[in-house]
Structure 1
């Protein structure tokens, strides 16, 4: 098993934030609760967080109105658990990306991970290629998820409780990337992870403002390569 796989396997499992609604003990109840949350997330994508209302969610999920009030005591709890569902799915995508990012580093040109680290230029290029592929997939294939993220981010400005959940989610993302950068022997993995995530968020936001076919993939790679080159060049001089 690779170093990254070991690291990911040893990480705490589960979502970064916890569901707050009524706990279920039966499979059928949990399925209905999940249907309600997935319907609520679809509404966020179409209308924003303010579109979440018990009646609207019940109609979207095709369940009785009483079901939404049974599982969630109020709208805020429903919003919080909808964000938790989004965060859970988002972190799973990031985990898959982390594993995929490490693979070419470990296997490139038959080099071991440590040998690959000896070339900062090669390392920056490999990571830039993988990150570019990831962010393009996010913008083109997971566009709805990015729209939901932007909606939750805006609502967090207005909602102190959602702000706290958003901060926990952000820290979980930083932790996952920090683990990877630590394996790459970054002297400041937390700071580097924070910078990279900020850049990825900006690229994703700007990508939502254009049609997918007009996405400037070369510009995205150039931006990521520039930042990664600075990071690894600084490392080589440390």
Structure 2
């Protein structure tokens, strides 16, 4: 599957900076990149400077200039690290999409009945709400970094391919769900819609940062799934 190839350990993401030979050196290089990512989260991409990153990482300034010849290289490698981390969440995204339909259809619940369809609707809403709740709370820093990542990908050609890789992994898994599990007649379009909905709800939460937004998030998901469900059942999910 395409998403799996994106995270295939035999084809690791390529970092641009000086390669670390010893484990200790690799650890320091990782510490520097983690520090740079924290700066992106707190200050944005423009906050990345050799001196600022060295201070945040607790390493000598010479260490950052040793591994990264210029700021562009440091920025690219910071977002390479972000992409690496973000792709690790693709499997969680997949589970939240696949499991509701698979679990419910395997329990003997009759999805041809109103009661069965209501049970499936509530289960899917519950699973997707929990996924988004984790994203906007536990993974909040990564969502902030993603916003910076998106803008930088538009203006920085060196980062664009990383953004495309990340998005393709998410899109492919969503499209695969709609194609093989939900049996949608338009899996690509459905994948585009659900990813857009998720991004919109995540962004809304980041802007407002209010707990009561969870109610709106849940009601929005229920509204979307209630519209989507009849066509999925009609196309063979039952």
Fold equivalence (TM over 0.5): yes
After superposition, give the CA deviation of every residue in 1:26-51 in whole Å (9 maximum; x if it has no partner): 21111111101100001001110010
Does the CA-based 8 Å contact 1:36-1:61 persist in structure 2? yes
Which residue of 1 is the match for residue 54 of structure 2?
58
Which residue of 2 is the match for residue 223 of structure 1?
220
Tell me how far apart the structure 1 counterparts of residues 122 and 14 of structure 2 sit (CA, whole Å).
37
Which residue of 2 is the match for residue 141 of structure 1?
138
Which residue of 1 is the match for residue 4 of structure 2?
11
The yes-or-no answer on 1:193 pairing with 2:191 is yes
Instruction: Compute the displacement of 1:100 (Å).
Output: 4.6
Tell me how far apart the structure 1 counterparts of residues 96 and 22 of structure 2 sit (CA, whole Å).
36
1:92-171 counterparts in 2 under 5 A? 92-108=88-104, 111=107, 121-171=118-168
Tell me how far apart the structure 1 counterparts of residues 96 and 57 of structure 2 sit (CA, whole Å).
34
TM-score (norm 2): 0.83
The yes-or-no answer on 1:37 pairing with 2:37 is no
Instruction: Compute the displacement of 1:140 (Å).
Output: 1.7
Tell me how far apart the structure 2 counterparts of residues 175 and 17 of structure 1 sit (CA, whole Å).
18
Instruction: Compute the displacement of 1:190 (Å).
Output: 2.2
Does the CA-based 8 Å contact 1:105-1:116 persist in structure 2? no
**Alpha carbons of structure 1 residues 187 and 39: separation in structure 2 relative to 1, 3 Å:** same
The SS at the match of 1:19 is coil
Instruction: Compute the displacement of 1:125 (Å).
Output: 3.2
Which residue of 1 is the match for residue 74 of structure 2?
78
After superposition, give the CA deviation of every residue in 1:41-97 in whole Å (9 maximum; x if it has no partner): 010011100100111111111112222122222211211111121122122123124
Tell me how far apart the structure 1 counterparts of residues 74 and 111 of structure 2 sit (CA, whole Å).
46
Instruction: Compute the displacement of 1:157 (Å).
Output: 3.0
Instruction: Compute the displacement of 1:156 (Å).
Output: 2.5
Tell me how far apart the structure 2 counterparts of residues 124 and 225 of structure 1 sit (CA, whole Å).
7
| Two-structure CA RMSD over aligned residues (Å) | 2.7
Task: Give the unaligned 5+ runs of structure 1.
Answer: 1-6
Count residues in correspondence. Answer: 228
**Alpha carbons of structure 1 residues 105 and 156: separation in structure 2 relative to 1, 3 Å:** same
Tell me how far apart the structure 2 counterparts of residues 116 and 151 of structure 1 sit (CA, whole Å).
45
TM-score (norm 1): 0.83
Which residue of 1 is the match for residue 174 of structure 2?
177
Task: Give the unaligned 5+ runs of structure 2.
Answer: none
Does the CA-based 8 Å contact 1:40-1:57 persist in structure 2? yes
